[in-house]
Structure 1
Amino acid sequence: MKNQLLLPDEIVKKDNQIIRTKLEIPGVEGARILAALISRIKTNEPFNPNKIYSIAVKDIIKNPDGHSYQKIKTVCKELLKSSAEIELYNDTSEEDEFIGFPFFSAIQYKKGIISAKFNFLMEKMLFKLTECFTEYSLTEYLQLSSIYSQRIFEILKSYSNLPDKEKIIPIEELHKYLSTPKSQITNFGLFQEKILKKAHKEIISKTDFYFEYEPIKGGKGGRTSPVTAVRFIFSKKKIEPVKEKKEKEDKEKTAKNNNKNFLAAWNCVKSCKGNCDTLSKKPNKAACTICKTKNLLEEVLKKQEEHCPSEKITPQKTTYKSGGIEVEQANFFEILENKNE
C-alpha cells in the first residue's frame, strides 16, 4: 500500500453493537482519532475510568501543519459529543428503547497530543471482548479517505465471518448505518455512484479486504422495481459470478451511452450542415468528440452525394475571431475544435 501513515500496525477491536448502528462522528479525522485511541486498549485489559489513552496527531495526519492542528482541536471538541446510537425493538411493549453511548468522558488536546478517557458505558463495548466483536488493522483503516469507506469497511468486516460468507442488508438499515444524505436515500442510482462504488474501489485498492456487492430489487416491476436491499459477498467462489455480471452490465451501459452519443453527433451534423454556429442547442462534449474522431461530416456528405447528388450538403463558411482577427473557415472540424477550446 502506498503513502502509509507512520503508525504501528495496531488492532482496533469493537463490539458489533457499536459497529452495526448509527454513529455520530465528526468526519474522517474524527473517525481516525477514535479508531487510533481504541487501538491503544490492550487485549483483556480491564476498564479503568481514570486511565488516559494518548495518540500523537502526526500519527493521524501526514505532514501536519498549523492549519491541521487547529482543525484537530475543533474535531476533538466534537468528539466529546460523539456517540453510538442503539435502538432496541420490543414486540411485547408499546414503546421501543433508545440508548446513546458517548465514547469519551474527557478529551485533552495539548502540544500535538490527544489524550482521552473512555466513558464508563464503553466498558462492555471496547474492553475484554470475547464474543460478537470485530477487529481490523488500524493501518489499513487510516488509508481510507472517506467517512463512507470507513463505515462500510468496518460494517462489512463485522459480517465477513458469517458461515455463508455473505450478508444482505436492507436498504433502510444501510442508509441508517451510513447517515446517507437525504438526496441519495430516494435515488439508489445516485447513492451507488456517490457512495457504494467509490467506497468499494477505495477499500479493495487500499486494504487487504475484498468484497463485491449487488443490489436486490423488490416487487414485480423488473428493472423498474425499487432496490430494497444490498447483498454483500465475501466468498471468492461467490464473488466471481457477481463480478462478471457487473462487468457485463458496465459494458452494456457504456455501449448504450456510446450509441446515444453517436446518434446525437450524427443528427447534429445533418442539421447544421457543417456550420456549428447555426445550432440553437449545442451537443454534449462526448458527441462532439465522436463527430471529430469518426469524421461524421465526411460520412454525411458521402451519403448525401450517393443518394441525392442534386442536394449535396456543403459546409457553410463561418466567421469567428482568432487572436482578434476575423477568419473565414469552411472546415467543420477546425470550427468544432475552436468551439471546444
Structure 2
Amino acid sequence: MSSKFTKSPVVVQSNKLVESRYILSVNEQRLVFAVASMIHPDDVDFYPYEIKIRDLAAILGIDLNNAYKNADRITDQLMQRVLVIPEDDGPLKVGWVSSCKYNNKKGTISFSFDPHLRPYLLQLKRDFTQSKLSILAQFQSIYSIRIYQLLKQYKKIGYREFGVDELKEILGIDKKKYSQFKQFRQWVLNQAKKEFEKKNEAGFPQCDLTFKLETIREGRTIARIKFIIIPLKYQEALPFAKSGQLLPIEPDRTEDQELLEKLEYFGISALRAKAFIEDIGREKIEQILDYYTKCLAADKVEKKDGAFLAYLLREQITGKSKFEAELEVEVVEQKKIEQQLKKKEEERARRHEEQAKVSLGKFQSLSPKEKGLVLQAFRENLVELGNKTMVKDFDQAGIDNASGAMMALFRLFLREQYFDEDTD
C-alpha cells in the first residue's frame, strides 16, 4: 500500500493509544502518523505501508537530496522507540514498527507496524480519536502534537482535566524538568496554544480547536489543570504540500448539529439522537450529558456503548434530585435578576457621569461672580458634611488645583444641587 497525499488523510487511533506514554521527535511523530493515515478502515491486518522518498522528504521537511541519509537515521531511531499502553491486566510495552524496508528500484520505504498494535489501529468501532494529518503535520513542538490529540479526544465533551504530574508523564517529560509550573505553562502549554491559533495568510487558523486554561490548587501548589476546549473555524491545507494548497472552509454548525454529534459520539444512533433532541430539548440533554461525562470520569459506567446514556435520556436523569433541580432554577433566576440590577446600575452610573460633565461645562460658562456663589455653596456643603480636611484643602488650593477626590465631590455637588435636571 503506497502513499498518495492528494487529499486530507485521517489518523484513527484508539483512545488508549492516544493516552499512552511515549517520546517521539516531531519528525518521528509525523512519520508514524503519515503511515497510520494509510490504514484503511476495512483492514483486518497490517500491511507493509509504502511511502515514496519524495513524500518522505516533504513529511520530514528536508531536501530530497538528503532524504535517504535522514530517513536512515530517523527509521533507526523509530525502531528503538518504545511506547507504554495502559491495559486492563497491566501496561504493554511495545515498539511502533517491526520493520522498515528500503525499495531501491521503486524509490520507496515500506513500514510495518508491530502486530501488538492491531487492537489500537485496526477495525476501530468505538473509543477512538480521529485527527487530520494536515493539522498534526503543521505543529513544530512535540508536545503540541500530543496535547492536540488529547484535547481532540474530548472535543465533543468540551473540557479535559489532568493532574500536572499525570500530563507530564503522558507527554514524556521528566519530573525534574519544568519543576516550576510557570515554566511548564510557558514552554509547553502556551506554546501549544500559540500553534493551535496560528493563522494562514487568509487570516484563518489551520487547527480546529484551541483552549483556555484553568488551574486548580491544592494548598499553595497548582496540582491540576483544566483545558476548556474551544472549537475554531479553520481552513485546512493539504499535508506536506509545498504550495500550501488550501481546502474549502468548513461551514458553521448549528447547536443542534453539535449536540447530535455529541450523542452519536457516545453511542446514540443519529435517528434516536434526533428524537431525543425533539422530545427533551437541548438544555435538558446538555445537563444529562454533563452528568454522564462525570460518571465516565469517575469510572462508574460499565457499558460504554450508549446503553447507559440512552437510559438516562429516556428517564431524563440529570443526577439531581427534584429539590436540587428546583434550587438550580432559582439560582439561575436569581443570577438573571442580579445581572439586570447590575446593568441598571451601570447605566445609572454612566448617565450620572454624563450629567456631571454637562454640569461642569455649565459651571465653566458662568460669570466670575456666579462661580464665586457656587463655590461658596460648595464650601458650606463640605462644612455640613463635617469634612474638615476637605474644607482646609479647598481653602488652600481652591477648585482649580483640587485633588481628584475633591473634584469628584464638586462634580457630584454640581449635578445634584444645581444642574441635574434628570433625577432618579
Give the TM bin, normalised by the shorter chain: 0.5 to 0.7
Q: Structure 1 unaligned segments of length 5 or more: list them.
A: 91-96, 238-341
Shift, 1:68, TM fit: 4.6
**Correspondence for 1:169:** 162
Aligned CA-pair RMSD: 2.4
**Correspondence for 2:223:** 228
1:210 aligns with 2:209: yes
**Structure 1 residues 109 and 190, CA gap change in structure 2 (3 angstroms):** farther
After TM superposition, which residue ranges in structure 1, 4 or more long, deviate above 6 angstroms?
A: none
| 1:89-140 superposed Cα distances (whole Å, 9 cap, x missing partner) | 77xxxxxx33113222111245553311121111110001000000111111
**Correspondence for 2:303:** none
Amino acid at match of 2:113: F
**Structure 1 residues 214 and 63, CA gap change in structure 2 (3 angstroms):** closer
Shift, 1:143, TM fit: 0.8
Higher relative contact order (CA 8 A, sep 6+): 1
Which whole-Å CA distance do the structure 2 matches of 1:180 and 1:37 have between them?
Answer: 25
Shift, 1:7, TM fit: 5.3
**Correspondence for 2:120:** 125
**Structure 1 residues 226 and 7, CA gap change in structure 2 (3 angstroms):** farther
| 1:57-87 superposed Cα distances (whole Å, 9 cap, x missing partner) | 1341346244454222111012112232024
Select between 65-74 and 183-192 the one with higher mean Cα deviation.
65-74
Select which of 139, 143, 148 maps to 1:144: 139
Which whole-Å CA distance do the structure 2 matches of 1:214 and 1:207 have between them?
Answer: 20
**Amino-acid identity (%):** 21
Q: How does 1:264-283 map to 2 (within 5 A)?
A: none
Select which of 28, 50, 55 maps to 1:54: 50
Structure-1-length-normalised TM-score: 0.59
Tell me if the contact between 2:165 and 2:175 (Cα under 8 Å) persists in the aligned partners: no
Shift, 1:183, TM fit: 4.5
Which entry has the higher C-alpha Rg, 1 or 2? 2
Shift, 1:38, TM fit: 0.3
Name the SS for the 1:199 alignment partner: helix
Shift, 1:186, TM fit: 1.7
Name the SS for the 1:22 alignment partner: coil
Name the SS for the 2:207 alignment partner: coil
**Correspondence for 1:154:** 149
**Correspondence for 2:93:** 100
Which whole-Å CA distance do the structure 2 matches of 1:157 and 1:59 have between them?
Answer: 25
**Correspondence for 1:8:** 7
1:186 aligns with 2:200: no
**Correspondence for 1:45:** 43
Shift, 1:226, TM fit: 1.3
Tell me if the contact between 1:81 and 1:102 (Cα under 8 Å) persists in the aligned partners: yes
Amino acid at match of 1:52: P
**Structure 1 residues 42 and 173, CA gap change in structure 2 (3 angstroms):** same
Amino acid at match of 1:219: E
Number of matched residues? 218
Higher strand share: 1
Which whole-Å CA distance do the structure 1 matches of 2:75 and 2:125 have between them?
Answer: 30
Tell me if the contact between 1:39 and 1:138 (Cα under 8 Å) persists in the aligned partners: yes
Structure-2-length-normalised TM-score: 0.48
